A and B are shown apart, each in its own frame.
Chain A
């Protein structure tokens, strides 16, 4: 596919995916297909709240309608995920609304009927009588004095302000001095509308019940089967092994399916209650209303700059509207705390004083969506730099060169450690490819014709492949054990690699693919070690009965962590094969090469087929050197601190000043994700991420009316782009091999969504500079742009939060001063390997 010579190894090859032949023939199996094949199953439909806030007075249905409410689920525990920190508010999510409703779309009741259509018919007959209560529909409203409380169960002595569910702050000692001494302080406020991950396959579940064993099986479209299993069994109070969770083919996730759905808990509960198979397929409308929102954030940041454009310090007040309930397992703190820890991105910032809050409102709860807070973090930093460049009279590329980290490891004032990366180099590569001189000539010519062209860039570090240590860092001890719930820290991955008597290999993983081609890429990794071909490897995933406990696939972790564990397991299995071969061929294991299905003694003609070694290990163990047969089964465990991929995005746009329409005329990326296991899959992830970034920048927004009803409930109102709206994407790859990841691969899944919005916002701002319009709110829709042009102002959040309280509440322990902690060698070198694999 590329001009370069095909690599000799499987790793690095753009191998067409093993998953594809079945899917292109229409033989993929998604949950709705499992349902279609179970003609006897019953169907569930949820009756949902039509009020943003209210007291449930009654739920009634005519005789003959099978309906369940919270009154039937008294033995079922709410979903609960916590962080151990004093500024975290613990709220459980009841499976069906209990006593009150807190957002439009919240499930109140479930009906069961013989078919999907009949369930919908029955649901219409259920009457839910709600006494409306005042609702808060924005962070500003939630923080206003006297605002109604979304949750009145929060203890009065909780340190947080009302409706504030997490309130983190990191302050370094020299921040005030840095601002006092700055040549210029530049301030920006950026914001984004609410987004939906909107996978093309909505949520769905099929729960079956085995009367003989009392076990349930849930087929659901999930990114994290094991965690789902734990979560559901916790709620139902059953043994974890009484539930098997299987994710068949998954039609996209993007984070929306790595969060436990109340509906899935309800489905399993009802299936056990009725001792029947039950099915649920979410409609697209329900998916918009109730399946996890994201990204409605406002960041106020100030940068202290020298006259030469060096960024000395950052101050910030970050506010995330997190909706009505706390998602499981990463909690509703995921957006604000990620922003708090990662805001500086790839830029060197010495002093830091940032406060980051999650505010609860009467809207659909948030959960991670590809990139989580990073698109906004990058938007904030990149708009800050462009505005600073303007105000200081500096070149936009130069100001970035001045501030990008170039020495590694680099410890950020937030405690994050950036490992070996290529921030300067990707900026340089992108700028060269962009050919700014040529662009300026074209821009000038276009101006003559009354046309407005602009170019914008964004540089970012994408935190990927982070294991337990990273999730642990979100909590901090604060004295007495006040929480009743254990902390959930995702992170490790374990794999079990087994060679069977025929020499074929199965790799059982805890990660869970949903489109990223893991069955192919992990096979590539494993095959290089074992001297096999990818068709000899079967990756088994997404079935809790068949795989080791794992965290699933999210946060750009699967290749780094599961791939790392697979590599370690494969290296160990290879070593065992070399030992067996050495014994057979009369040499040393170090002299054995595994390749093309054979074990060969270096420097001799002697070979033995790997499949022969395998067969003998199982059936002729009397031939083996040690009487305890070395099992041809190895376990790989990997739990890294994490690494950072990096990239620079450049967008060229043309803006129609009369209609506000934006056309992206060119989009290019210079990126560094370390070693590319499968370049075409990497490119595919970048393409898809950028399309969602374009959507965030220009098209997609979930809109609530002033009664808290979601207005955008169909694909006519919520606007994911078609091929016509996504530009051609040029990608240049750099490769920095970091010791922080054992395969050399850095994760790459989210980069596109992270960098694209800022590059586009900067490009539009660049185009409209002559008209005095800058972009500070996304999506920058044509209506907003045209209105801003007409009124001679920037595109900003329409109803801005107003004055937000800036003083932290008293008696709250300060965040530890992480910048004072010595840099630990083990942060960086834990997983350095002695033998580096070469291409």
Chain B
């Protein structure tokens, strides 16, 4: 067993784990952050994607001990606060970018990482990045739409979609 300290979403976690504990398992089981999911454990599906020092990484292909000293960000760390969503999260909600939701955290961190690092990325580059992760439910159409929408919002080109279908009835159907 090894003592290690991880910084995740700005919080410090002190763990005592075997070296063979992957970063994904450490986040889920030892840090209580179960938003990061395991879909294959061999680095193909991308459901375990997290940001390590701002770069998207397969958490199932890193051991927790390797992440010492790095700044880790998971899906739970994307939203700025309890009332507001990260533009990528908001865009996925607005554009029906998720169905079962299992692949969603991996896509959210991937896209947030890519857009935060490269806000001017072309659609082709974004699609290439999106091809890193598998989704079984959506057929990707709305994931692409949500990604491009998030980019426009993050670049200030668009204020985001009015929350569709709520205005008429006079009540917001948008719990944050």
Query: Is A20 among interface residues, defined by CB-CB distance under 8 A?
Result: yes
B-chain residues with CB within 8 Å of residue A37 when the two chains form the complex:
32, 34
Query: Is A83 among interface residues, defined by CB-CB distance under 8 A?
Result: no
What's the Cα separation between A691 and B172 when bound, in Å?
A: 34
Stretch of B61-69, B71-79, B114-122, B151-159 contacting A (4+ beta carbons < 8 Å): B71-79
Query: Is A515 among interface residues, defined by CB-CB distance under 8 A?
Result: yes
Q: Is the CB of B168 within 8 A of A8?
A: yes
Q: Which of A28, A534, A680, A689 contacts B173 (CB 8 A)?
A: A534
* Most central of B39, B41, B108, B127 by chain A CB within 10 Å: B39
Q: Which of B33, B128, B163 contacts A16 (CB 8 A)?
A: B163
* Most central of A17, A26, A254 by chain B CB within 10 Å: A26
B-chain residues with CB within 8 Å of residue A29 when the two chains form the complex:
34
A-chain residues with CB within 8 Å of residue B74 when the two chains form the complex:
26
Considering the complex, which residues of chain B in the window 5-43 have a beta carbon less than 8 Å from any beta carbon of chain A? 18, 20, 28-29, 32-42
B-chain residues with CB within 8 Å of residue A183 when the two chains form the complex:
none
Q: Which of B32, B41, B98, B127 contacts A724 (CB 8 A)?
A: B127
Q: Which of B44, B139, B143 contacts A715 (CB 8 A)?
A: B44
What's the Cα separation between A833 and B67 when bound, in Å?
A: 62
Q: Is the CB of A30 within 8 A of B37?
A: yes
Considering the complex, which residues of chain A in the window 92-124 have a beta carbon less than 8 Å from any beta carbon of chain B? 117
Query: Is A596 among interface residues, defined by CB-CB distance under 8 A?
Result: yes
Encoded as 1 (CB less than 8 Å from any A CB) or 0, chain B from 125 to 168 comes to: 00110111111111111111000000000000000010111101
Q: Is the CB of B85 within 8 A of A533?
A: no
What's the Cα separation between A688 and B143 when bound, in Å?
A: 11
Q: Which of A26, A516, A517, A729 contacts B34 (CB 8 A)?
A: A26
Q: Which of A680, A715, A752 contacts B45 (CB 8 A)?
A: A715
What's the Cα separation between A254 and B33 when bound, in Å?
A: 27
Query: Is B94 among interface residues, defined by CB-CB distance under 8 A?
Result: yes
Query: Is A21 among interface residues, defined by CB-CB distance under 8 A?
Result: yes
Q: Is the CB of B169 within 8 A of A199?
A: no
Stretch of A59-67, A245-253, A350-358 contacting B (4+ beta carbons < 8 Å): A245-253
Q: Is the CB of A26 within 8 A of B36?
A: yes
Considering the complex, which residues of chain B in the window 73-114 have a beta carbon less than 8 Å from any beta carbon of chain A? 74-76, 78-79, 85, 89, 92-96, 98-105, 108
What's the Cα separation between A688 and B172 when bound, in Å?
A: 29
B-chain residues with CB within 8 Å of residue A14 when the two chains form the complex:
96, 164-165
What's the Cα separation between A722 and B138 when bound, in Å?
A: 11
What's the Cα separation between A17 and B100 when bound, in Å?
A: 12
Closest to A35 in B: B29
Q: Is the CB of A16 within 8 A of B165?
A: yes
Q: Which of A1, A284, A680 contacts B42 (CB 8 A)?
A: A284
A-chain residues with CB within 8 Å of residue B127 when the two chains form the complex:
723-724
Q: Is the CB of B140 within 8 A of A726?
A: yes
Q: Is the CB of B98 within 8 A of A21?
A: no
In the complex with contacts A26-B33, A687-B138, A714-B44, A16-B164 CB distance below 8 A: yes
B-chain residues with CB within 8 Å of residue A198 when the two chains form the complex:
136
Q: Which of A16, A19, A723, A726 contacts B94 (CB 8 A)?
A: A16
What's the Cα separation between A18 and B76 when bound, in Å?
A: 19
Q: Which of A16, A28, A254 contacts B96 (CB 8 A)?
A: A16
Q: Is the CB of B134 within 8 A of A32?
A: no
Query: Is B1 among interface residues, defined by CB-CB distance under 8 A?
Result: no
What's the Cα separation between A14 and B169 when bound, in Å?
A: 14
Query: Is A754 among interface residues, defined by CB-CB distance under 8 A?
Result: no
B-chain residues with CB within 8 Å of residue A723 when the two chains form the complex:
127, 130-131, 140, 143-144
B-chain residues with CB within 8 Å of residue A241 when the two chains form the complex:
none
What's the Cα separation between A26 and B27 when bound, in Å?
A: 12
User: Shortest beta-carbon distance, B89 to chain A, in Å?
Assistant: 4
B-chain residues with CB within 8 Å of residue A686 when the two chains form the complex:
139
In the complex with contacts A535-B171, A723-B130, A726-B139, A252-B100 CB distance below 8 A: yes
Interface size of B by CB at 8 A reads 70
In the complex with contacts A252-B137, A535-B171, A684-B76 CB distance below 8 A: no
A-chain residues with CB within 8 Å of residue B18 when the two chains form the complex:
117
A-chain residues with CB within 8 Å of residue B96 when the two chains form the complex:
14, 16-17, 680-681, 683-684
Q: Is the CB of A200 within 8 A of B135?
A: yes
What's the Cα separation between A27 and B41 when bound, in Å?
A: 21
Q: Is the CB of A24 within 8 A of B93?
A: yes
What's the Cα separation between A25 and B95 when bound, in Å?
A: 16
Closest to A26 in B: B35
A-chain residues with CB within 8 Å of residue B32 when the two chains form the complex:
36-37
What's the Cα separation between A10 and B173 when bound, in Å?
A: 11
What's the Cα separation between A14 and B140 when bound, in Å?
A: 18
Query: Is A728 among interface residues, defined by CB-CB distance under 8 A?
Result: yes
* Most central of B38, B47, B172, B175 by chain A CB within 10 Å: B38
A-chain residues with CB within 8 Å of residue B94 when the two chains form the complex:
16
Query: Is A395 among interface residues, defined by CB-CB distance under 8 A?
Result: no
What's the Cα separation between A178 and B173 when bound, in Å?
A: 60
Closest to A535 in B: B173
Closest to B76 in A: A26
Query: Is A425 among interface residues, defined by CB-CB distance under 8 A?
Result: no
Q: Which of A252, A284, A680, A724 contacts B102 (CB 8 A)?
A: A252
Q: Is the CB of A252 within 8 A of B85?
A: no
B-chain residues with CB within 8 Å of residue A517 when the two chains form the complex:
99
User: Shortest beta-carbon distance, B113 to chain A, in Å?
Assistant: 15
Query: Is A203 among interface residues, defined by CB-CB distance under 8 A?
Result: no
A-chain residues with CB within 8 Å of residue B92 when the two chains form the complex:
20, 24
* Most central of A201, A533, A681 by chain B CB within 10 Å: A201
Q: Is the CB of A690 within 8 A of B139?
A: yes
A-chain residues with CB within 8 Å of residue B134 when the two chains form the complex:
200, 715, 720, 722
Q: Is the CB of A691 within 8 A of B139?
A: yes
User: Shortest beta-carbon distance, B98 to chain A, in Å?
Assistant: 6
A-chain residues with CB within 8 Å of residue B176 when the two chains form the complex:
21
B-chain residues with CB within 8 Å of residue A13 when the two chains form the complex:
164-165
Closest to B47 in A: A200
Query: Is A15 among interface residues, defined by CB-CB distance under 8 A?
Result: yes
What's the Cα separation between A761 and B89 when bound, in Å?
A: 37
B-chain residues with CB within 8 Å of residue A726 when the two chains form the complex:
139-141
A-chain residues with CB within 8 Å of residue B169 when the two chains form the complex:
10, 533, 596
User: Shortest beta-carbon distance, A18 to chain B, in Å?
Assistant: 7
What's the Cα separation between A16 and B100 when bound, in Å?
A: 14
Q: Is the CB of B75 within 8 A of A25?
A: yes
Encoded as 1 (CB less than 8 Å from any B CB) or 0, chain A from 18 to 48 comes to: 1111011111111011001100000000000
Query: Is A480 among interface residues, defined by CB-CB distance under 8 A?
Result: no
What's the Cα separation between A20 and B88 when bound, in Å?
A: 13
What's the Cα separation between A198 and B163 when bound, in Å?
A: 33
Enumerate chain A interface residues (CB-CB to B < 8 A).
1, 6, 8, 10, 13-21, 23-30, 32-33, 36-37, 117, 198-202, 249-254, 281, 283-284, 514-517, 533-535, 596-597, 680-681, 683-684, 686-692, 714-716, 720, 722-724, 726, 728-729, 752
Known: A21-B85, A688-B99. 8 other contacts (CB 8 A): A6-B168, A25-B35, A26-B75, A32-B37, A200-B134, A515-B137, A684-B96, A724-B127
Q: Top 6 A-B pairs ranked by shortest CB distance?
A: A26-B35, A251-B102, A687-B139, A515-B100, A691-B139, A515-B99
30 CB contacts below 8 A, A to B, read A10-B169, A14-B165, A16-B93, A16-B163, A16-B165, A20-B101, A21-B175, A23-B101, A29-B34, A30-B102, A32-B38, A33-B34, A37-B34, A200-B39, A252-B137, A284-B41, A515-B101, A596-B170, A683-B142, A684-B138, A687-B141, A690-B139, A692-B136, A715-B40, A715-B44, A716-B42, A722-B131, A722-B132, A722-B134, A723-B127
